[in-house]
C-alpha cells in the first residue's frame, strides 16, 4: 500500500527520467546453508550486516543472491510439525471476495473487471485484477526502501533489482517475481493473535478506520489472554496472523455505508511501525505475517524507524524479503479457535504463478 510511489514512478517513466542504474548485489553476506539456517544467525541489533545497507535490512543474511527471503524459514520439518495442527479437519477459506470493495479504498486501484466470454458449447470468463484490491500476498517486488518515494532511491531485497524498469518496464526481469513464492509451496503453522478479541475484554474502544496503533505489549497481552506461554509461543517458520477488527467493522456496515464511506485517506488500525515491533518480529523468525486490515501495520505510513525507514512494509519486504498478507478474513477461524481453546492451525497458501508478478490473491486456507 503506497499509491504515491507508483504514480510518481509512472510519471517519471513517461518523462523518460528513470534511467537504469545498475547496483551490485549485497556484497557483504553470510554463508547460508538451508540445512543449518540458524548457525551464526544475526540478532536484530546486528542488522544490517553492512552499515551501507538500509535500516535493519537483512541483506546478505541468506547469502547475497537469495530470492526467497523469509520463506527460507519454512522447511520440510516445519511443515511436518505444522501438519500436526490438523486435529478436527475443519477447513476455513481466509480470502475475501476478490471484488469485496466495490468502492475502492484506494482510488488508484479499480474494482475487478469480470467479463463472460461465451464459446461454442462452453463458457469462459476473463478477469482483470489489480492484485491489491482484496485479500493479497505482497511479493518482494511490491515495496522497496526509498528515502523520498522516488524511483531514484528504490532498493529491493538483497539489492537484486537494479532498476525500476526491471519491474515495470517493457521487458521486466523475473528476479524476485511472485513466481518464486508460487513455486515454493507455502505451508506452515499459523498462529492467530486476536487483538480485537482481547481489546473487547479490556473495554478498549477503537475505530478500525483510524490509525489505532497496536503495540508489542498489547500483542503479548493478547497472547497471554489466549493462554499462550509467555515469550515462547512461536516456532521458526510460523506465520503470525493478527486480527485487528478491521474486517469485522467493515462487514458490520450496511451496503449504503460501504458505498458512501468517506475513507479518510486509508487510515487503519494495525501494528505500530517501530523499532520494538521489528525486533519482536525478527526474533520470531516468521515465514510471513498477515492481518485482516489493509496493510498489517497501522496507516497512514507517517512513522520513522531509525531515521530512514518509513514503514514496516519497507523493512519487511525490501529488507527481510518477508511478505505480508492483507485483508484476510479471519472471522470464522478466530471464532472456531476460541471455541476450541486454540491459537494455532495448519495454513496453506498458493499464489498465482505469474512470472515477474508483484502480488497475488493468496488462496489461503486454514485447517484446525
Ligand atoms: C551471486 O551471484 C553473482 C552473479 O551470478 C556471483 O558473481 C556471486 O558470486 C554470487 N554470490 C554469492 C555469495 O553466491
Ligand atoms: C524437502 O525435502 C526434499 C527432498 O529431500 C528437498 O528436495 C526439499 O528441498 C526440501 N524442502 C525444504 C523446504 O527443505
Ligand atoms: C530523491 O533523492 C535522490 C537521491 O538523493 C535524488 O537524486 C532525486 O532527485 C530525489 N527525487 C525527488 C523526486 O526528490
Ligand atoms: C469492562 O466493563 C465492564 C462493564 O462495565 C466491567 O464489568 C469490567 O470490569 C470492565 N473490564 C475491564 C478490564 O475494565
Ligand atoms: C518453549 O516451548 C517449547 C515447546 O513448544 C519447549 O520445547 C521449550 O523448552 C520452551 N522454551 C522455554 C524457554 O520455555
Ligand atoms: C500520523 O497520523 C496519525 C493519524 O492521522 C496522527 O494521529 C499521528 O500524530 C501522525 N504521526 C506522526 C508521527 O506524524
Residue among 202, 203, 221, 224 to mutate when testing ligand 4 (max atoms within 8 A of CB): 203
Provide the 3-class DSSP secondary structure of residue 119: coil
CA dist 119 and 135 (Å) reads 31
User: Which pLDDT score, from 0 to 100, does residue 264 have?
Assistant: 60
75 Cβ closer than 6 Å to some ligand 2 atom? yes
Strand blocks (E) in 194-302: 213-214, 239-242, 270-271, 288-291
The cell for 257 is 455505508
- 1 pLDDT tier (thresholds 50, 70, 90): very low
Distance 152 CA to ligand 3 centre (A): 6
Contact 1/294 with Cβ under 8 angstroms?
yes
Q: Which residues contact 214 (CB under 8 A, 6 or more apart)?
A: 195, 242, 244, 269, 270, 271, 272, 298
Class of 6-367 per CATH?
alpha beta
DSSP 51: T
Ligand 1: which of 24, 64, 161 to mutate, most ligand atoms within 8 Å of CB?
Answer: 64
Share of the chain above pLDDT 90, in %: 77
Q: What is the mean pLDDT of residues 180-199?
A: 96
Could you report the per-residue pLDDT of 256-299, keeping only the tens digit for each?
988 887 666 669 999 999 999 999 999 999 999 999 999 999 99
Q: Convert the pLDDT of each residue in 160-182 to its tens digit.
A: 999 999 999 999 999 999 999 99
Pocket around ligand 1: residues whose beta carbon is below 6 Å from it?
25, 29, 63-65
Mean per-residue pLDDT over the chain, rounded = 91
Q: Has residue 5 got a pLDDT over 90? A: no
How confident is the model over 62-86, as pLDDT tens digits?
Answer: 999 999 999 999 999 999 999 999 9
Q: Would you say 336 and 312 are in contact if contact means Cβ atoms under 8 Å apart?
A: no
Q: Which atom of ligand 6 is nearest to the CA of 210?
A: 4
Residue 100 predicted with pLDDT over 70 = yes
CA of 304 to the centre of ligand 6 (A): 11
Sign of the CA dihedral running 300, 281, 97, 132: positive
The per-residue pLDDT for 244 is: 98
Amino acid at each position: 500500500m503506497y499509491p504515491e510511489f507508483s504514480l510518481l514512478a509512472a510519471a517519471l517513466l513517461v518523462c523518460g527520467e528513470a534511467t537504469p542504474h545498475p547496483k551490485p548485489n549485497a556484497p557483504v553476506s553470510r554463508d547460508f546453508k538451508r540445512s543449518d539456517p540458524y548457525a551464526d544467525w544475526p540478532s536484530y541489533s546486528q542488522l544490517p550486516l553492512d552499515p551501507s545497507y538500509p535500516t535493519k535490512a537483512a541483506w546478505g543474511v541468506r547469502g547475497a543472491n537469495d530470492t526467497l527471503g523469509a520463506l527460507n524459514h519454512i522447511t520440510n520439518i516445519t511443515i511436518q510439525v505444522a501438519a500436526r495442527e490438523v486435529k478436527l479437519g475443519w477447513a476455513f477459506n481466509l480470502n475475501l471476495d476478490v471484488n469485496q470493495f466495490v468502492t475502492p479504498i484506494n482510488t488508484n486501484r479499480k474494482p475487478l473487471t469480470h467479463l463472460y466470454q461465451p464459446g461454442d458449447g462452453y463458457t469462459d470468463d476473463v478477469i482483470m485484477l489489480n492484485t491489491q484490491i482484496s485479500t493479497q500476498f505482497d511479493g518482494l517486488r511490491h515495496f522497496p526502501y526509498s528515502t523520498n518515494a522516488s524511483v531514484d532511491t528504490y532498493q529491493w531485497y538483497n539489492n537484486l533489482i537494479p532498476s525500476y524498469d526491471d519491474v515495470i518496464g517493457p521487458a521486466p526481469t523475473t528476479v524476485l517475481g511472485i513466481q518464486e513464492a508460487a513455486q515454493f509451496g507455502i505451508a506452515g503453522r499459523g498462529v492467530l493473535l486476536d487483538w480485537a478479541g482481547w481489546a473487547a475484554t479490556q473495554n478498549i474502544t477503537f475505530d478500525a478506520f483510524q490509525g489505532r496503533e497496536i503495540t508489542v505489549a498489547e500483542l503479548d497481552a493478547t497472547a497471554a489472554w489466549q493462554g499462550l506461554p509467555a515469550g515462547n509461543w512461536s516456532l521458526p517458520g510460523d506465520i503470525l496472523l493478527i486480527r485487528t477488527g478491521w474486517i469485522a467493522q467493515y462487514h458490520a456496515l450496511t451496503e449504503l455505508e460501504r458505498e458512501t464511506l468517506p475513507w479518510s485517506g486509508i487510515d487503519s488500525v494495525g501494528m505500530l511501525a517501530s523499532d520494538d515491533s521489528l525486533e519482536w518480529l525478527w526474533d520470531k523468525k516468521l515465514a510471513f505475517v498477515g492481518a485482516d486490515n489493509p496493510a498489517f501495520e497501522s496507516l497512514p505510513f507517517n512513522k520513522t524507524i531509525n531515521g530512514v525507514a518509513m514503514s514496516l512494509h519497507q523493512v519487511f519486504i525490501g529488507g527481510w524479503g518477508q511478505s505480508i498478507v492483507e485483508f484476510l478474513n479471519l472471522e470464522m477461524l478466530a471464532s472456531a479457535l476460541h471455541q476450541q481453546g486454540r491459537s494455532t492451525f495448519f495454513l496453506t497458501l498458493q499464489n498465482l504463478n505469474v512470472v515477474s508478478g508483484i502480488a497475488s490473491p493468496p488462496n489461503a486456507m486454514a485447517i484446525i
